[in-house]
Structure 1
C-alpha cells in the first residue's frame, strides 16, 4: 500500500497547475476569480472592522457614561460593517458560484466530448465502475477543488498581505507578531496537516474508488451471485471493503478534531498576544479605547484561516481525479470539421493495433460501393467488430486510411447521421417509447414514427400499449423480447435515414425462426443502403452481394456468395459446417 501511495501522490503545484482541466480556466476567467477573491477579502475585513468598531464602542462608552453621546460615528461604523459584511458576503458567493458554474459547464462539455469521441478506446481501458466514477465524482472533485481549496487559499493569502501592511503602518512589532501567527496558520499547520494525512488520504481514495468499481461490477452480476449460492460472500466482501474505508476515515476524522483543537489554541494565543501588545503600547488617554477593539479583531480571522488546513489536505484527495481526467485521450473539438458526402467506402493499406501492441489488421485494402451489401465473416477475435469501429471513426487506423469519398470518418462531423449501427444488444432507455425512437432524429413527427413502426412490424404492438408512444419503458426495455428490441433498433435507423448500416451480429441471441424473419426484414427495409453485415455464421448470405472472410489481419476470401459456393472449396466447407451438413 505504501508503494501505491508513493505512486499516486501528486505535488500540490501539479494538482493545481500542471493539468489541462484547471489551469486553462484560471487564465480564461481570471477577472471573475480576482473579483471573487477581492470580495472575499473585503468580507473578512468587514467582519474584522465590525469587531473593531464594536470593541471601540464598548470601551469608549464603558469608561464614562457621557461618552455615549460622543460615539455616533463608531456606532454608525458598527451598523455599516454589520450590514456590509453579509451583503458583500452574499455578493461574493454569487460571484464565486457563478464563476465556478461557468467553468463546470465547460468542464462537463470537455469531458463529454472526450468520452463521446473516444468511447470505444475508453470502454476498452476502463471498467464500468471507473467510468461512472469519472462521470459522477471527478468533476465534482474539481468543482470542490476550486471552491474549497483555491478560493480559501487565495483569500487567506490576500488577507494576510493586507493585515501585515496595515499592522506595519501601526507598529513593526505588531506586524512581526502577526507574521509569526499568520505563518503558523497559513503555512506551518496546512503543511504539517498535508504531510500527516497524505498517505491516509491516498489510501482512502483508493479504497473508495475500488469499492465503487467493485460494487458496480458486483451489482451488474448480482443475479449470478445469487444463482451460484454465494450471496453471503458478496455481502461479506462488500462489508469488509467498507470496513477498511471507514477505518481510514475514522483516523482522518480524529486527526481533524485534534487539529481543530490546536487551531483554537493558536487563535486564543493570538488574542492574548494582541491584548498584551495593546496593554504595552496603548497605555493612556484615547488609546485605551483601542485595546478591546484590536483584540476583538482576531476573532473573525478564524473564518478565513480555519478552513485553510482542511483545504490543503483535501487537495491530495482531488489528485486522483485530476490524474484520471488528464489520462483521458485528448480530443480537439475542431478535429471533426468535415462532412461525409460520398457513400463509397475505401480502405487503403490500413493497419491497426491496440495500445497493448496486439496487431489486428495489417495493410488491409477494401473497396465498398454505395448500396453494396457486404458480409464480414471470421473467427471470434479476428477483428470484425473492430473493423466496424474503424469504419465509424470510433477508432483510428495506426497507419493507412479509411475514407468515405475523401473524408475520414474520424474527422467527419456527420458520422451519426450517415452511419447507423444495430448490434447484438441495442439499448432501450428508461424513457418513453417516443423518446427511444427519436434518439437519432429529435424532430421526427408522430406520423413519421407510426410509418416507421409499420415498416418494422411493430405498429399493432405499440397501438396495444396503454399509452401508445407515451408508454414509459422499463430499464433496458425488459418488457420487450429480443426480436422486438432489434425491430426498435431498426426503426431508429430508418428514422435517421443513415446510408451506411453496420449490422454487428444483431440476431446472435435469437432463435432460428426469429433470426431468419429479422434478417429478411433488415435486408428488405434497407434496400438501396450500404450494409456491412458482421456475423459468425452464414444464415442469410444468399441475399448479400459480397462476402469477405478475415484471417490473420487480412482478407482471405472475397467474392459473391453463389460464386464462392461453386468455386471456393474453403468457403464451401465453411458453409457446410455452418449448415450442419
Structure 2
C-alpha cells in the first residue's frame, strides 16, 4: 500500500482529503464525548453521594453530562453519515475506473484472467477497498488522535502517569496491531485464495452448467464445491478464534490499566476534598476506549486482504489511449502476417512461419483440427500473445505498438457469449451506454430478433437471467451479434461461435452473421464446413503450418479438403 505507482487508493485519498478530515474528526469527537460522558458521570456520582451543601456544586457536571450524552450519538451519526457518504462516492468512482480499465484493456485482461477472476476483481476487490477505508484507515487515524489526546491529558496530572499510559497505549495501538497483522497474514492470504477459487468455481457452475451435465461430472463438481466450502469455513473459523483471543488480551490489558489508574488516582486524590471526586471519573473514562482500540486492531489484522486487492487492481495497468495517428485515421484497417511463429515453451513451436494477407472487408476462414494453433493465432492477432518471430501489422503499424487499441479494432464472437442477469437493453448497452431504444430495436431487427422481441411482454426490459439462459443458444448468439453491431469495430473475430448449435440453427446464424457484417473484416476460426462458401479465402493449418491457402472453390480441388467437402454433403 506504500507503492508510489498505486492508482487505486492514493489518488482518491489526495483528491478527497476534506471528507477524510471530517470523518476522522467526528470519529474522535464521538470517542471523546463517550469518555467525557463517563468522566463527568463518575465525578457527578461521587460528588452527589457526599450530599453537597449547595446544588450549584453539581449543576455544572449535570449540564456537562447532558451535553456529552447528546454529543455522543450526534457525533456518531455525523461520523457514519460522513464516512459512508465519502466511501460510497469513492467506491462509485473506483468501480467506474475499473470498468473503464477492463474495457480499455479487454483483450489483455481476457488473455490473462479467467472469467471468475474478472468477476472477483469487479466485486470482491472493490468491496475490500471499501472495508480498507471504513475498517482500517479511519480507525487508525482516529486511534492516533486518541493516543495523542490521552497522553497529553494525563501529562497535565503526572509525568509518571503519562509515561504509563504512553507505554500502555503503545502496546495496544501499535504493538498489538503489528503482531496481529503478522500472525494473521498467512491465514488471510489463504482465505482470499479460497474465496477467489470459490468465485471461479461458481462462475464455471453458471457458464458451464450444460457442459458439467453433458459430461456426467456433476458429482465431481459438487464434491469440489463442498470441499472448497469446508476449507474456507475452517480458515474463517480459525480467523474468528484468533480475533477472540486478540480481543480478550486487549480487554485484559485495558483492565490492567483500570486497576493501575484506580491505584494511582486513589494515591493522588485520596484525602483531598475535591480531588477525591476524580477517582471514579478517571476509572470510568477508560471503558469507552475499548471499542475504538479493538476496531483498530481488527482493521490492522485484515490489512493483508487490502494489500492483495490493491496489487491485483494495479496489475491491470492504467487506462491508455490510442496514440498511433495512422491507425486512428484509418477506418478500414487491413492485416498482414509475415512469417509468424510462436511457442509456449522452447521445446515445441505451435505456429511455424504463418503468412496471411487480410484486406479490409474480406472474409477469411481458418480451419484445422483441435490443438493445431487456431486459437493461438487469434490471440496473436488480437494482441493477447506476442510472437517469437515474424511480424503482424495492422494498416502498416506493427501490432506490438498498438497493444492497447484492440478494443477499438476488434470485436469477438465466441461460443460462450457473455450475457448477464439483467434486461436485454442493459446487456446491449454494455458496449454503448448512450444507445437509445430505437437504436437497440434497429440492431435486434438486423440480427433477426425483431419478431421475438415483439412477442415479449416486457420488450427490451425483459430479464435475460444468468448467462442468457432465458433464450436458446441461437438467440444468445444473435443477441451477442447485436452487441457487436452496436460496438461497430472494423474487424470481427469469430471463434467457433456456432459449435454448440444444431446444424440447422448453425447455418441460419452464420447466414445472419455474414449478412449483417458484410461491410466488415471477418476472421473465422472453425472446424465445420457449414457456411464456408461465404468466405473469400480459406486457410487450413496442420502441424503449426499453413497446409492450404485459397478460395473455397480451390479448396474443393485439394485432395484432403475435397474429402471433407464430400463428407459434409452427405
Structure 1 residues 336 and 71, CA gap change in structure 2 (3 angstroms): farther
Query: Which residue of structure 2 lines up, in the alignment, with residue 96 of structure 1?
Result: 83
Q: Secondary structure at the match of 2:156?
A: helix
Does 1:47 pair with 2:43?
Answer: no
Aligned mate of 1:374, from 349, 361, 364: 364
- Maintained 8 Å contact 2:322/2:405: no
TM-score by structure 2 length? 0.82
Distance in 2 (CA, whole Å) between partners of 1:58 and 1:71 is 9
Structure 1 residues 105 and 481, CA gap change in structure 2 (3 angstroms): closer
* 1:256-295 equivalence runs, <5 A: 256-282=243-269, 283-295=271-283
Distance in 2 (CA, whole Å) between partners of 1:336 and 1:304 is 51
- Maintained 8 Å contact 2:409/2:491: yes
Query: Which residue of structure 2 lines up, in the alignment, with residue 253 of structure 1?
Result: 240
Aligned mate of 1:310, from 298, 301, 305: 298
- Superposition deviation, residue 390 in structure 1: 5.1
Structure 1 residues 532 and 36, CA gap change in structure 2 (3 angstroms): same
Structure 1 residues 229 and 503, CA gap change in structure 2 (3 angstroms): closer
- Superposition deviation, residue 160 in structure 1: 0.9
Does 1:546 pair with 2:519?
Answer: no
* 1:39-438 equivalence runs, <5 A: 39-214=26-201, 216-217=203-204, 235-282=222-269, 283-326=271-314, 328-334=315-321, 339=328, 341-347=330-336, 366-389=356-379, 391-392=381-382, 400-404=391-395, 411=402, 419-436=410-427
Distance in 2 (CA, whole Å) between partners of 1:222 and 1:502 is 25
- Superposition deviation, residue 176 in structure 1: 1.4
Which segments of 5 or more consecutive residues in structure 1 lack a partner in the other structure?
Answer: 1-13
Aligned mate of 1:32, from 4, 19, 24: 19
Distance in 1 (CA, whole Å) between partners of 2:101 and 2:23 is 30
- Superposition deviation, residue 300 in structure 1: 1.8
Q: Secondary structure at the match of 2:360?
A: coil
- Superposition deviation, residue 558 in structure 1: 4.0
- Superposition deviation, residue 50 in structure 1: 2.4
Distance in 1 (CA, whole Å) between partners of 2:71 and 2:45 is 20
Distance in 2 (CA, whole Å) between partners of 1:412 and 1:233 is 39
Structure 1 residues 153 and 476, CA gap change in structure 2 (3 angstroms): closer
**Which 10-residue stretch deviates more, 309-318 or 146-155?**
309-318
Q: Deviations over 1:530-560 (max 9, x none)?
A: 3333332444444333334446666554444
Q: Secondary structure at the match of 1:507?
A: coil
Structure 1 residues 150 and 192, CA gap change in structure 2 (3 angstroms): same
- Superposition deviation, residue 514 in structure 1: 4.0
Structure 1 residues 129 and 528, CA gap change in structure 2 (3 angstroms): closer
Aligned mate of 2:464, from 473, 480, 486: 473
**Which 10-residue stretch deviates more, 440-449 or 90-99?**
440-449
Aligned mate of 1:502, from 493, 496, 499: 493
- Superposition deviation, residue 172 in structure 1: 0.5
Distance in 1 (CA, whole Å) between partners of 2:219 and 2:514 is 49
- Superposition deviation, residue 135 in structure 1: 2.9
Structure 1 residues 151 and 433, CA gap change in structure 2 (3 angstroms): closer
Which segments of 5 or more consecutive residues in structure 2 lack a partner in the other structure?
Answer: none
- Superposition deviation, residue 175 in structure 1: 0.4
Aligned length: 563
- Superposition deviation, residue 343 in structure 1: 0.5
Does 1:533 pair with 2:524?
Answer: yes
**Which 10-residue stretch deviates more, 406-415 or 545-554?**
406-415
**Which 10-residue stretch deviates more, 45-54 or 202-211?**
202-211
Q: Secondary structure at the match of 2:319?
A: coil
* 1:12-23 equivalence runs, <5 A: 20-23=7-10
Structure 1 residues 484 and 180, CA gap change in structure 2 (3 angstroms): closer
- Superposition deviation, residue 41 in structure 1: 2.2
Distance in 2 (CA, whole Å) between partners of 1:417 and 1:319 is 33
Distance in 1 (CA, whole Å) between partners of 2:137 and 2:128 is 12
